[in-house]
């Protein structure tokens, strides 16, 4: 798979370089030195695996690069789909996709997965039936071999009748797929069977209850564990759902928190943040979105807890690598901005 990815990367750079080097494509005023810089940047972007940064502010980029190439065997991709969610977990030959953004983001997610050489998704998790989470899933379902599809078992009175949800169900039916209910406490191993000590798995933490009156709180929340590192994915779960998770006694401590509901003030309560105690937070939101996400209150809570913030609107796609002991992050555009006024 690594060879496939490298080959795909080379093709991407070659194609980009060819486009830029073609004088007929130059815009008026672009000089050769600028074109050369663009080519070199494109090469560094694809071959180097985005702009690199470690968990330490002063960590040399080469250290991060060596960690990714030599040590890391798990990658979590927080794909930039604008104002929506889409996360991809890749561990050896296993791939898990959580959501796929709005309908018009479906092709973006498909192309991203294909660029990584992915042909099968072992698990697809639809956190909850809002368009900015499941809108793009039909394209994904129709484009790849799909294993298990996990989604919340929503009460009849809350089951949506939207075209978005209908398209999702139609795509499943067309591939002969059935939904597996997300039950809190269920665990799914993706461990390497040849490594006895491999503990890589994800656990469903929510939904805890079955009487929520807001679809956001039906969100599938899961915790991914790899060695001594861990990641929490929260969908759009709001504070009442967070409280139910805490009351359930589930271990929510994690190194990385995918911040709930795009950084809305209705999620990421102080109690939940304290229990998770992450070193890194990732906010999936679109540039200049109409909701004002992420809200200033959420940024303030994360800052006051000394959490490193990455955002799709500032950083583009964010990838966090783990070797089971340490984690390192790389971003499409560079380090996240901190202390932002919203």
Provide φ and ψ at 95, rounded to 5°. -135, 135
- What pLDDT score was predicted for residue 41? 43
- Give pLDDT, residue 61: 76
Map residue 213 onto helix, strand or coil.
Answer: coil
Beta bridge partners of 319: 77, 330
Between 331 and 341, where is the model more confident?
331
| Three-class DSSP category at 233 | strand
Which pLDDT score, from 0 to 100, does residue 84 have?
Answer: 95
pLDDT exceeds cutoff 60 at 180: yes
CB 132 within 8 A of CB 101: yes
Set out the domains of the chain in order of their start, with CATH numbers: 73-331 (3.60.15.10)
Span of 26-30, 119-123, 273-277, 316-320 with lowest mean pLDDT: 26-30
Has residue 228 got a pLDDT over 80?
Answer: yes
Main-chain dihedrals φ then ψ at residue 204, nearest 5 degrees: -80, 125
Mean pLDDT, the chain, integer? 85
- Confidence at residue 47, expressed as pLDDT on a 0 to 100 scale: 37
pLDDT level of residue 52 (50, 70, 90 thresholds):
low
Average pLDDT of the segment spanning 110-129: 98
10-19, 61-70, 163-172, 254-263, range with the lowest pLDDT: 10-19
- pLDDT-based confidence at 69, cuts 50/70/90? confident
- Tell me the average pLDDT across 103-107: 97
Among 16-20, 127-131, 288-292, where is mean pLDDT lowest?
Answer: 16-20
* Rounded average pLDDT over 10-37: 39
User: pTM for the full model?
Assistant: 0.82
Distance (Å, whole) CA 42 – CA 40: 5
**Structure confidence by residue, pLDDT tens digits, 190-221:** 999 999 999 999 999 999 999 999 999 999 99
**Is pLDDT at 157 greater than 50 in this prediction?**
yes
Residue 330: its pLDDT value, please? 93
H/E segment holding residue 157: none
Check residue 160 and give its pLDDT: 93
Question: Mean pLDDT, to the nearest integer, of 282-296?
Answer: 93
Query: Angle at Cα 131 formed by Cα 313 and Cα 104, nearest 5°?
Result: 65
CB atoms within 10 A of CB 304: 10
% pLDDT > 90, the chain: 75
Are the CB atoms for 275 and 254 separated by under 8 Å? no
């Amino acid at each position: 798979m690594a060879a496939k990815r490298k080959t795909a990367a080379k093709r991407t750079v070659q194609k980009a370089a060819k486009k830029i080097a073609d004088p007929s494509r130059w815009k008026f005023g672009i000089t050769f030195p600028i074109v050369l810089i663009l080519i070199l940047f494109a090469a560094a972007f694809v071959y180097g695996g985005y702009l690199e940064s470690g968990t330490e502010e002063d960590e040399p980029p080469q250290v991060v690069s060596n960690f990714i190439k030599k040590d890391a065997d798990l990658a979590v991709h927080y794909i930039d789909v604008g104002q929506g969610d889409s996360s991809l977990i890749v561990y050896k030959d296993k791939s898990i996709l959580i959501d796929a953004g709005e309908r018009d983001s479906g092709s973006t997610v498909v192309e991203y997965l294909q660029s990584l050489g992915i042909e099968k998704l072992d698990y697809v998790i639809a956190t909850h039936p809002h368009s900015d989470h499941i809108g793009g899933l039909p394209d994904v379902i129709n484009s790849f071999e799909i294993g298990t599809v996990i989604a919340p078992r929503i009460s009849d009175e809350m089951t949506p009748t939207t075209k978005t949800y209908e398209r999702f169900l139609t795509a499943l039916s067309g591939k002969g797929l059935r939904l597996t209910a997300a039950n809190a406490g269920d665990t799914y191993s993706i461990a390497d069977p040849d490594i006895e000590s491999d503990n890589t798995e994800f656990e469903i933490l929510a939904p805890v209850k079955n009487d929520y009156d807001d679809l956001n709180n039906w969100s599938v929340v899961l915790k991914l564990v790899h060695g001594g590192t861990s990641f929490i994915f929260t969908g759009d779960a709001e504070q009442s759902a967070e409280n139910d998770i805490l009351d359930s006694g589930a271990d929510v401590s994690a190194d990385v928190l995918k911040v709930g509901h795009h950084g809305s003030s209705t999620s990421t309560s102080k109690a939940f943040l304290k229990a998770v105690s992450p070193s890194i937070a990732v906010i999936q939101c679109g540039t200049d979105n109409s909701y004002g996400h992420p809200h200033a209150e959420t940024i303030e809570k994360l800052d006051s807890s000394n959490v490193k913030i990455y955002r799709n609107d500032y950083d583009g796609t964010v990838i966090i690598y783990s070797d089971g002991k340490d984690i390192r992050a790389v971003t499409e555009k560079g380090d996240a901005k901190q202390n932002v006024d919203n």
